[in-house]
Amino acid sequence: MSLNKRCIHIILYILSQNKYIKISQLKENYNVSERTIRYDLSELKYWFKKEQVGNWEIIHSEGVKISCTPETRKYIFELFENKIPNDYFYSSEEREQK
């Protein structure tokens, strides 16, 4: 499973905050609908489960948080900093801009 640019940014943003992030805040940050954010979070939750990195927590009243060890956090940051362009899939918004 490959992640689009927005999903990668969401992972990195949530990891950098190290606290619960409300879906409404993500919606405003990325200028998309709440449904789009929920869809992205669903994909991300699946990715985390598949890759077996970190603990993905979603609490309706609190928001979203990724709990992981410092080593895992570093691994995820390095993984997406060095993302191979051929393995990257553009979102529909990114395709429209091209």
Write out pLDDT tens, residues 21-80: 999 999 999 999 999 999 999 998 888 888 888 788 888 888 999 888 889 888 888 888
pTM, whole model, 2 decimals?
Answer: 0.76
Instruction: Report, as an integer, the average pLDDT of 18-23.
Output: 91
Provide the CATH number for the domain around residue 45: 1.10.10.10
Domain that holds residue 46: 5-97
Residue 86, pLDDT > 50, answer no
- Please, is 37 exposed, middle or buried when counting C-beta atoms within 10 Å of its C-beta (0-12, 13-18, 19+)? buried
Give how many domains the chain has, as a whole number. Answer: 1
pLDDT tens digits for range 68-78:
888 988 888 88
Q: Name the phi and psi angles at 31, rounded to 5.
A: 55, 50
